[in-house]
Amino acid sequence: MPAEILLPIAVAFLWAEYLRRRKYKPPKGDIVSINLFGIPVIFVYSDEIVRELFEKRGALYSDRYPSSMAWLSGLKWNIGLIHYGDWWRRHARAFHQCFNSRAVLSYEGIKTKESRQLLRNLLESPDDFSEHLKFSVGRIIMDVVYAIDIKEEGGSFMNSVHTAIEGFGFTLVPGLWLVDVFPIFKHIPDWIPGIPFKKFVKKYKKPTEDTANVPFDIVKRLRRLENPLPNEEVVIKNVAGTAYIAGASTTYASGLQAILASVLYPETQKKLHDELDEVLGDRLPTLADRKNLPYVDAFLCEVMRWRPSVPFGVPRGLPENDPVNQVLLLLNRHILRDKKYGPNPEDFNPERFFEPGVRHPTEHFGFGRRTCPGRFFADNTLFLFVASIFKVFNIVPKKDENGNDIPISGRYAESFLPVPDPFQCSFKPRSPSAKELIIVDYTSDSLSL
């Protein structure tokens, strides 16, 4: 895809923000096309049209645009950014083998162990809930992918990875970086001062590359693929790195949004408590319980609809050799506010998923051949975390020195991977028996890092 098509993408993020301020109502129709410098940029708001383009015509609409900033930042190994073709298919095949809907069930033991560890961490130091959640998600992925058990929260490797995730969220914002609009700028010498993207690359490139390289270099092994492919080691390393940086960032963001929603909408928390108590009695949840917990499932669906962890799809385009230069941008956040999900789309209302015809918000995970390959892994991880937390904790606003609730803005930073602005809340065990459930000892035979 010619580099000049990047210029129209510079308006994409601002356009999406404009729509957000207009309560997500497009000016006309389900597709808006803006012609800039002779190049069409197409914004898609309808999941029916998206499915037509990206599922029925997936062979044509599955490519990515060549982001100079992503390459400069060390993200060339990320599956989500690889051009559509044979090299991408090798990665997709490997990822699917390890993270399909059946394969992820074999990781339940690891996830259950870590969900119990998360509960203990929240009991012992509840003010650090955000860091505990981030650490727990990372530990699961490290254990599943590399059989490495990271013991220390806040260790050097984990800090490096979360620095990479922070950078990842801003690297992919369309139009944020001048070097994506004018790729020739990537040749500006490093010694020229005051170049923002150069400073960004200096901070984030090494942590981003380390995310894929460090654990792989330590282990030098991963589950063997059937019918090994050429360059198998490179594929495995890229798959593992993508699993971490994508899975950790999105699952962590959704977990934080779930906690935020429960505090802003306390009536939903009461319903979670009631259903979990009725179904589980005096035990903690397993994945097998999900089919008997419809409100918990609806709550998770609403978290993904209300605040999707990837609100703007990565811009797509036609194959590199196609003469038609066009960019397609999915506004997932708008699609998830379609009238089919009921009225008041800005409100958090899990009951909307009990209405006939309202399906799981799969748009949260993307469309077609570029659908998130880790969606099953992320979905059941989030279920175990959320169901476990609300089985034993009541989450309420934190009090100030005068006994008043500390306000929670509910705002979030606009980035490719948004998370809520920092907020304070209290995790209170719901009863002595709930506290007792938390205090369980687990051990691990995994390799330590």
- Reported as a single tens digit per residue, the pLDDT across 155-191 is 566 677 667 767 766 676 655 676 766 777 777 777 7
Tens digit of each residue's pLDDT (9 = 90 or more) over 82-116: 888 888 888 888 888 888 889 899 999 999 999 99
Tens digit of each residue's pLDDT (9 = 90 or more) over 203-233: 778 777 776 666 666 555 444 544 544 577 7
pLDDT at 79: 80
Instruction: List, in order, residues 6 or more apart from 401 with CB less than 8 Å away.
Output: none
Residues 371-383 have a mean pLDDT of: 89
> Which residue segment(s) compose the domain that 62 sits in?
3-448
Tens digit of each residue's pLDDT (9 = 90 or more) over 24-35: 455 556 777 776
Of 3-7, 186-190, 357-361, 388-392, which has the strongest mean pLDDT?
388-392
Cβ atoms 256, 248 nearer than 8 A: no
**CATH (domain of 182):** 1.10.630.10
Residue 37, SS3 per DSSP:
coil
Distance CA 134, CA 444 (A): 20
pLDDT at residue 374 is higher than 80: yes
Identify how many contiguous H helices and E strands the chain contains and give both numbers: 16, 9
pLDDT at 25: 52
301 is in an annotated binding site: no
pLDDT at residue 129 is higher than 90: yes
Instruction: List, in order, residues 6 or more apart from 133 with CB less than 8 Å away.
Output: 118, 252, 255, 256, 259, 385
pLDDT at residue 349 is higher than 50: yes
Average pLDDT, the chain: 79
State the total domains in the chain. Answer: 1
Distance CA 169, CA 159 (A): 16
On the 0-12 / 13-18 / 19+ scale of CB atoms within 10 A, 368 is: middle
Q: What percent of the chain has pLDDT over 90?
A: 29
pLDDT at 441: 44
pLDDT at residue 345 is higher than 70: yes
Tens digit of each residue's pLDDT (9 = 90 or more) over 237-270: 787 778 877 777 889 999 999 999 999 999 999 9
> Which residues, listed in sequence order, are joined to residue 76 by a DSSP beta bridge?
none
pLDDT at residue 74 is higher than 90: no
Prediction pTM value: 0.81
pLDDT at 323: 45
Tens digit of each residue's pLDDT (9 = 90 or more) over 295-312: 999 999 999 999 988 887
Q: Where are the alpha helices (DSSP H) in 220-366?
A: 232-264, 266-280, 294-306, 332-335
pLDDT at 255: 95
How do beta strands 316-317 and 39-44 pair? unpaired
pLDDT at residue 275 is higher than 90: yes
Out of 171-175, 365-369, 398-402, pick the least confident: 171-175
Q: What percent of the chain has pLDDT over 70?
A: 74
